Amino acid sequence: MPELPEVETTVRDLEPLVAGRYIRSVMVGSRALRKPWSSEWQHQLAGRRVRKVARRGKWIILELDGDLFLVFHLGMTGRLLAVAQDAVHEPHTHIILRMGQRRELRFTDIRRFGSATVIQGGKALATFFARAKLGPEPFEMETAYWRERLAATGRCLKAVLLDQRVVAGVGNIYADEALFEARLHPARLGRSLTAAEADRLRRAVVTVLNRAIKLRGTTIRNYVGGSGLKGLYQEKKRAYGRTGQACVRCATPIRQVRLAGRSTHFCPLCQEAKRTQY
């Protein structure tokens, strides 16, 4: 599933390609996405100008004239690409926004777990994200908030990082990478952390996400950014997916366990934890 760095890369790619352009028409495929598409939305979108492209958590927001918003979620295999109008149509293309200067914005999704929603008004958009119970952005997370959330939970750190209600945008890859960066065992309980350890983890999350954004995110299967270019972080990852490989710090083989329902990778030496901390 695309996480914050992949979504942020898509937004940065799309901003110069579609901002300022008008949506001439909208074409929608016959196969349903995770959320139903209303036929009225096609009429609402036609003729609107894209004012800006933004991100909230793992959502992509197209802000349009008239206080209208088109909100995409990439799900597990979604792509949002700005292409020339005569570009070859990829299979599993579900939505096409035809724009000026013979450019199209195309939403493709093989598994159809993604979604596209039209929202009228800034207040309605705020309500949309409030109902999703989306936590703060990692880059804006206050120290006191983070310490309090960790101190109040008996869940493991891996589960806390994956919880979008606690912090928005972090998924399986970057949770493992952040815990490795912070030298904290993924099975540690949130309430077992000292204030200094909590602060170290908060900084590690930001460091890893920024590092991944600079490398355009991670392409493991089919992710590409809004311009069609792949990510490069998979060549630099230090924990995720490196089972049995030597730790880049101490050469101990990386281990894999299952936590919070997800495959979890860590160095048993660099991220050592005492049993009392589980």
Give the tens place of pLDDT for each residue, 242-273: 999 999 999 999 999 999 999 999 999 999 87
- Look up 35 and say whether it is catalytic: no
Domain end call among 98, 131, 164: 131
Annotated catalytic residue, options 3, 63, 177, 181: 3
Give per-residue pLDDT as tens, 115-138.
999 999 999 999 999 999 999 999
Give the whole-angstrom CA distance, residue 32 versus residue 36.
6
- Look up 58 and say whether it is catalytic: yes
Q: What domain range includes position 175? A: 138-277
Residue 120: CATH number of its domain: 3.20.190.10
Q: Which residues contact 117 (CB under 8 A, 6 or more apart)?
A: 35, 70, 71, 128
Annotated catalytic residue, options 2, 5, 138, 186: 2
Q: Which residue has the higher pLDDT, 171 or 273?
A: 171
Helices marked H in the chain — which ranges? 4-18, 39-45, 122-131, 143-151, 157-162, 172-182, 195-214
Annotated catalytic residue, options 48, 58, 155, 237: 58
- Look up 203 and say whether it is catalytic: no
Give the whole-angstrom CA distance, residue 58 versus residue 81.
16
Amino acid identity for residue 160 in this structure? V
Say how many domains are in the chain: 2
Over residues 76-103, the mean pLDDT reads 93
Judged against a pLDDT cut of 90, whether residue 222 lies above it is answered with no
- Look up 197 and say whether it is catalytic: no
Annotated catalytic residue, options 49, 197, 262, 268: 262
Domain end call among 95, 115, 131: 131
Handedness of CA 28, 102, 50, 228 (dihedral sign): positive
Chain centre to alpha carbon of residue 125: 18
